[in-house]
Structure 1
Amino acid sequence: MTTQFELIRNPFGKLVLTTTEGVVHEGVSPVRAFPVQAPEDGISLLNNDGKEVAWIDRIADLPAAIGALVSEELSGREFMPEIARINSVTSYATPCTWSVKTDRGDTEFVLRGEEDIRRLTIDTLLITDIHGIHYLIRDLRELDKHSKKIIDRFL
């Protein structure tokens, strides 16, 4: 596979992108264009000034070594646990504490207000806690009856 750039990690752990023209960009950061709907498609590589220096249509289309670097960097920067079950809430009035089971383990967080639950699609929700951490419910239909009942009280 041919790419329009080379990507390596320097001794300081920063990604270094070199274009086919020989232009070197140190400390590039990958950013997903569609982190929920299409996390493996549409990745922008940004320089330190936040300007796009390269575009990746699909991680799977990259050479394996470059794809691994991009995926590794993304996973180190992103933290968005997926809620699998809502165990309990302290109150149906906000602010309240939610006890949830996620793909990263059990946790609790404080929901500041109902406006911190955003519907991304008909079945996908993004919940932001009081500290700005995002929790994803990828598919409401896959939640158990108890969890759905709690969500319905807030929507």
Structure 2
Amino acid sequence: MTTNNPGGQPSFSLHRNSFGRLVLTGADGVAHDNVIPVRAFPVSAPDGGLSVVSSDGHELVWIDRLEQVGAEVRKLIEEELASREFMPEISRIVGVSTYATPSDWTVQTSRGVTTFTLKGEEDIRRLPNSALLIADSHSIQFLVRDLKALDKHSRKILDRFL
């Protein structure tokens, strides 16, 4: 389905059905139930492109930037993304139980202080621009947006695991 009309605005509408699920109606008038917005690059470019996909994973609409769509549609997309994306950002590593794995980490995040278990060093992934993605034993992803922005104590702990 084409996403842009000649004026540059996406040519679709979005609303919630009686079950609270998103419904996309395309320019052709066809309604698609249970659609899901998915960011193309959730870590490196969260404000960049996103897709609205059908329940079977087929792309229905591509949106270059959320600013392209009206406030009401943007709000629905942001609500849905917030309910699906849970990736706390680590701002400080308070401490670790041991420098061998598995180890329990206590961290300050964008969602508060928490403790998680790191199973192995392979659960720490380097990303572009000195970012890290750390997966705990329950597969929850924690983001370190900029390793260089962490305090000295936090960087020292991470150095032992990288």
TM-score (norm 2): 0.93
1:9 to 16, 22, 28: 16
2:86 aligned with 1:79 = yes
> Contact (CA 8 Å) 1:40, 1:60: kept in 2 or not?
no
TM-score (norm 1): 0.97
> Contact (CA 8 Å) 2:124, 2:132: kept in 1 or not?
yes
Question: Following superposition of structure 1 onto structure 2, how do residues 123-142 of structure 1 map, counting pairs within 5 Å?
Answer: 123-142=130-149
Q: Where is the strand percentage greater, Structure 1 or Structure 2?
A: 1
The CA deviation at 1:2 is: 2.8
2:56 to 49, 62, 65: 49
2:150 aligned with 1:143 = yes
Aligned-pair Cα RMSD in Å: 0.9
> Paired residue for 2:4?
none
Quote the sequence identity (%).
Answer: 57
What is the rounded CA distance, in whole Å, between the counterparts of 1:11 and 1:116 in structure 2? Answer: 40
The DSSP-based 3-state class of the residue aligned with 1:85 is strand
> Contact (CA 8 Å) 2:99, 2:161: kept in 1 or not?
yes
Structure 2 residues without counterparts, runs of 5 or longer: 1-7
2:93 aligned with 1:92 = no
> Contact (CA 8 Å) 2:10, 2:68: kept in 1 or not?
no
Give the ranges of 4+ consecutive aligned residues of structure 1 lying more than 3 Å apart after TM superposition. Answer: none
Worse-matched range after superposition: 43-52 or 126-135: 43-52
